[in-house]
Amino acid sequence: MFANRPIFPFTAIVGQEEMKLSLILNVIDPKIGGVMIMGDRGTGKSTTVRALVDLLPEILVVVDDPFNSDPEDPENMSDFVREKINNHESVLTKTKKISMVDLPLGATEDRVCGTIDLEKALTEGIKAFEPGLLAQANRGILYVDEVNLLDDHLVDVLLDAAASGWNTVEREGISISHPARFILIGSGNPEEGELRPQLLDRFGLHAQIGTVQDPELRVQIVEQRAAFDESPLAFREKYEQQQNKLTDLLFSARQRLNHVQIDSNLRMKISHVCATLNIDGLRGDIVTNRAAKALACFEGRQYVTSEDILKVIPLCLRHRLRKDPLETIDSGEKVRETFQKIF
């Protein structure tokens, strides 16, 4: 998607550790459920998300399949591929980079979900489906900038697809479904309005970022940006080694994720924190367990420690706290205090 223009390297981004960590954890374990990045204007939200594209590992897909079907996982195949496999036909495969799809604010529902060509269906008797953005984003990343300005009905469509992993399009009695499993990344500026609580709850992690106040760091950021704008390719070359190292680390972490263990005592304490904070539902418990395991895996350990949990629990729970309608999202202090009491 961004192949034609040079992208700012992820490893060159100064500060904003919370946002970078959230994105990395989601790449290691896509089942964490995406990340909502909230922060001031001009703090590098979009730059960081787009920089992630470079680091994404490759996946095995079926050639000529618009849904990036996984040839080895029946749950993640389109009907077209499943039929071929059931009929013992040969399926050609190739590897490709995980894709990142940008959802424009003005997108129509047809553009997002795809459309059925009724004329073809009626005259030729075949199901003709024009895939939309959800099809492109399957097994990849769907990025929505200014998610708090998106139409409510589109938000509902996205959330249904993100929760079920499938997208269904129905027109005049014809129905077509395809897999749509993607990491949903949203960014927004709190000044432009808060998100509905049920929407916030669907994002696995919530990263808050502010403007860097340290003058030295600000100068460093300005200099880096100027150097990149002046000569993007030379700037990228400077960071090539670090980028490759991080890409390899993410790839091996994805392979090892199933071997990481979390002690039942720590699980009990995570649920105790969630119950003490009165968090609705069990998403908070599930996401905290997953994020802690992904962090331990990223740091090359086989067992989760309480330090891992302390690092990720504010990201997992701060947007799930019940709050006074007039206050903005808690910065995570309340979560940390409860954590310290229980651990």
Integer Cα distance of 186 and 36 in angstroms: 5
Q: Where are the beta strands (DSSP E) in the chain?
A: 35-39, 58-62, 93-97, 100-102, 114-116, 129-131, 140-145, 166-171, 174-179, 182-188, 205-209
The Cα–Cα gap between 328 and 323 comes to: 8
- Given a contact cutoff of 8 angstroms between Cβ atoms, the answer to whether 71 and 93 are in contact is yes
CA distance readout (Å), 305 to 50, 260, 293, 297: 31, 11, 9, 11
> What is the C-alpha to C-alpha distance for residues 297 and 267, in angstroms, rounded to an integer?
17
In which residue are the tokens 């000044």 written?
Answer: 191
Closest CA to 59 of 71, 75, 77: 71
Does residue 283 have an active-site annotation? yes
Provide the pairing of β-strand 58-62 with 93-97: antiparallel
Token pair for residue 41?
A: 């204007």
13 DSSP 8-state letter: -
| Catalytic annotation, pick one of 139, 202, 283, 290 | 283
Active site (catalytic) residues: 283
